[in-house]
Chains A and B, each alone.
Chain A
Amino acid sequence: METAVRIGQGGGRFAELYAAHGRDAVRLGYLLTGNAADAEDLAQEAFVRLLGKFADLRKPESFRTYLMRTVTNLARGRARRRDVERRHAGTLAANAGGIVEPPDLGPRYELAAALDRLPYRQRAALVLRYCEDLSEQQTAEVLDTSVKAVKGLVARGLASLRGQEVRR
């Protein structure tokens, strides 16, 4: 059953959408940036941008795709700024890949660190395909690209991760 979500009814609807999708947005942001605080900021920012655009949402499933795309794009900008800031400071992150809250993911930290070292689009493609369990088509919609490009990104990303594991 389709449900029209009217933002005009006030912050209540926003809170409902956030309760339904907020955790997904934060999780995706964390997997893309490796930082829980950044992930919360990105999720809030994504909601504000989307709810400012859509006065009516007749397809709740479309909202999730737009939300994931917005979080992905925001995370890319955040990752780029972090890289430039890091180089300007003349220091490398204390932990590999710049992840600052590894205890959230416990022993899986090494894989998360390896993900963080990948070029952003490869990282995003792997996170969406495997961590978020999206199909190739869904991943292409979030990344605003073609299925073929997604396949290429995933293949290169997996090859890089395997290569990093061999070098360890």
Chain B
Amino acid sequence: MNDVERRLRDLGEAARTELRTPLEPRRESLRRIRRRRLLAATSAVACVALVAAGGAFAWSRSETVRPPLPPADVRRALDPSACGFPLDFEPTYVPSGFDGEARRGPESSSWVVARFHGGTGSAIDVTTPPHGFSQSDVAEIEVLDGPATIGAIHEGYSVAFDRARCHYVLNGYGIPRRELRLFAQGLRELTPLPFAGMWPEDSRGPAYDACKTRPLDRRWPLPVARDFVRKVLHWTSYELDTSHKGNPRRVDVNGPNAPYEDRVPDVQLLLKEVLPDCWSVTRVTAAGDHGTTDATVSVRGRTVEIGFDANGAASATVQAGYGGRVETATWEGGEPVVRLELPFDPETTGHFLVLLHNPNGFPFAAIGGTLPPGDFSAG
């Protein structure tokens, strides 16, 4: 063992003996686990209801034929990603101590899509639970021009309602029932809905222009995925796994063997019908031998900073764009963080894209996604 290895082992030993750590979990962690168990415990009831509701139904695009709406759980399963952050509604009333700003839900929970912060111990979570749950002392109210129910739950109060294809549950903690009711009843719709595409277009106008004639190569996800692989990744031999169904649609791409550490590169594409009969790529993530990866993006004014997992890349092409205008930079080693200065204000939805290259310049992986207008930070 050489000197560096021995010192690393010493470092580990020092951390074992010298680092002071608590021996008890935090109370907040216990509360969060109890909440998860409560939601999971009602899944059996929800499954029975789902089977009883029937499994066969058809959607129609015709304005004259409207099939009955399936139960909320089924609708939620159809289009889960459309119910995420940012919200397409906002409050006009907030309880005392709340600032009214919707913040993205914590990474620890996949169905707390947004959180409104109050003072210590008070918050309102906007959730999209995958299963039903029980309320007690239920009353009917109206939210966003539709029916809703308000009731008591284990740790507070909740309001449940359906909106488009989403089933929302607002959970209020540390606030009276009346305050949650006023909050829910005061919600108003944000229009227009944020555009969800990354490629070929990253904003609504260009996508509408491209799709208004309903071209065949945009009506289904597979041709769009194929075009992305050819035109963006420049792969000429590849395999597309389209076994996943639904909207959004995930397509796994096994690319050609890259002459770089014997790694077989592949990426995962997420596609969505962003407009009627108009599919787009909304996200691309790198997978493969080094596991899935992602990027951190920050937008402040005209400055975009993108951090990413280099995953052994020799270089990378980093791009950010809004409404068809694109800025590109090249990373060639060092800290994998790139700063782009836009010559325009990001006033529309946009996108970012990172192409990772091996020493031969071959793009072996990609990371990319959508950006909202204005300042932004995520990752």
Interface on A for B, CB 8 Å cutoff? 7-8, 11, 14-15, 18-19, 22-23, 26-27, 30-31, 36, 40, 44-45, 47-49, 51-52, 55, 76-77, 80-81, 83-85, 87-88, 104-106, 108, 111-112, 115, 119-121, 126-127, 129-133, 143-146, 148-149, 152, 158, 161-162, 165
Bound state CA distance, A80 and B309, in angstroms?
Answer: 9
Beta-carbon contact of A23 and B21 below 8 Å: yes
Interface range, B side: 35 or more
Bound state CA distance, A112 and B377, in angstroms?
Answer: 29
- CB<8 Å pairs between A and B, sample of 5: A18-B23, A19-B23, A47-B25, A85-B298, A158-B2
Q: Which B residues lie within 8 Å of A161 (CB)?
A: 4
Most B CB contacts (10 A, CB to CB) among A40, A83, A120 go to: A83
Smallest Cβ-Cβ distance to A26: which chain B residue: B21
Known interface pairs A7-B37, A48-B29; A152-B24 also in contact (CB < 8 Å): no
Chain A residues touching B, majority SS: helix
B305 at the interface (CB under 8 A from A): yes
Q: Which A residues lie within 8 Å of B23 (CB)?
A: 18-19, 22-23
Contact with A along B278-315 (1 / 0, CB 8 A): 00000000000111001010101000010101111000
Q: What is the number of contacts between chain A and chain B, taking CB atoms within 8 Å? A: 152
Known interface pairs A77-B107, A149-B289; A87-B339 also in contact (CB < 8 Å): yes
Q: Return the contact of A11 from the options B10, B33, B290 (Cβ within 8 A).
A: B33
Q: Which A residues lie within 8 Å of B18 (CB)?
A: 104-106
Beta-carbon contact of B8 and A130 below 8 Å: yes
Beta-carbon contact of A108 and B20 below 8 Å: no
Additional 4 contacts, C-beta under 8 A, given A48-B32, A108-B7 = A36-B19, A87-B339, A88-B300, A105-B11
